[in-house]
Structure 1
């Protein structure tokens, strides 16, 4: 029995869910998102909550049960609150600036990096050493944050680079004289 799958996904006020076959469409104040589940699970809306149950007792059905419930819960969270990743830039001369919808990153390379932000995600730079990535799709928000971080991953000696705000950088000791 899946502990995650057993819990129904509560639909807060202002959020509507429609099921068409194996496709769930969730509409909320921030937008509309949809997810297509596999044939191994059954979806149902009852009493203001969306429940997922497996079809059969196969291993694949049990695997899809918890995963489908989590994906549907992420749809509901995305259209109500949205998702957010915060990045911090550390290093002398390292900074970020917004140029319209694009981000200009100065990261100690021979040229400045211009990162194009995809549709569905908003990136803001409250300070020149901080970036906030927001959107209603958790996967897309995480991918954009990872793509920005990939330009300069934090290094273990001085901690220079782009890191998540809640990330811990294991520091190494430098050379001894």
Structure 2
């Protein structure tokens, strides 16, 4: 079993971290992100790193330990590089177009689907069958991608729908005579 929680999280140059009022805030070139602190874990800000240790020997504290370290790592990665997801649209007549703060999807319904882009998320459509979602918050990027995909999940017979780049769709054999 690996002990991810034992490794300190390195804070790169240009990024500042601070603990105030029960929150860890991270400020970097892309912006600022904050996370509430857990009572199950102790946090230590050292020169150029953040260390996370369980507050006690309880099972709950040990369970929170690695997760809290990963959440801090995601905050630091988010303010420096950001996160992105890529969706691919497959199907005749299925397409997407980003217009200002809305994403217009044509997915075979009798109407177009207008998806309002949340604050802090950037959506690009390099061509009409590709949607690139990017932002600082990993959870928010994944949530937006899941909400867009929910409009037309890929079906197993022809593979039509919205899928993540790199996702394998298990194909079923059609009806036989």
* TM-score normalised by the chain length of structure 1: 0.97
Match of 1:64 in 2: 64
- Residue deviations 1:22-73, cap 9 Å, x none? 4211000000001112111111111200000111100111011111101100
* Alignment match, 2:10: 10
| Residue in 2 that maps onto 1:27 | 27
Distance 2:2 2:105 in 1: 44
C-alpha separation between the residues in 1 aligned to 2:50 and 2:2? Answer: 16
Using the TM superposition, give the Cα deviation of residue 21 of structure 1 relative to its aligned residue in structure 2, in angstroms.
Answer: 5.2
| TM superposition shift of 1:90 | 0.1
- Give 1:98 deviation, angstroms: 1.5
Q: 2:88 corresponds to which residue?
A: 88
Alpha-carbon contact 1:103-1:115 (below 8 Å) kept: yes
Q: Mean Cα displacement is larger for which, 15-24 or 123-132?
A: 15-24
Residue 165 (str. 1) matches residue 165 (str. 2):
yes
Q: Secondary structure at the match of 2:86?
A: strand
Verify the 8 A CA contact 1:106 1:112 in the aligned structure 2: yes
Q: Corresponding residue for 2:101?
A: 101
Query: What is the rounded CA distance, in whole Å, between the counterparts of 2:157 and 2:150 in structure 1?
Result: 18
Which residue does 1:124 correspond to in 2? 124
Distance of 1:98 and 1:66 partners within structure 2: 38
Contact 1:30 1:80 in 2 (8 A): yes
**How far apart, CA to CA, are the structure 1 residues paired with 2:46 and 2:84?**
30
**Secondary structure of the equivalent of 1:5?**
helix
Q: Which runs of 5+ in 1 are unaligned?
A: none
TM-score, scaled relative to structure 2: 0.97
RMSD: 1.2
Measured in 1, the distance between the counterparts of 2:43 and 2:65 equals 10
Give the gaps of 5 or more residues in structure 2. none
Count of matched residue positions in the alignment of Structure 1 and Structure 2: 177
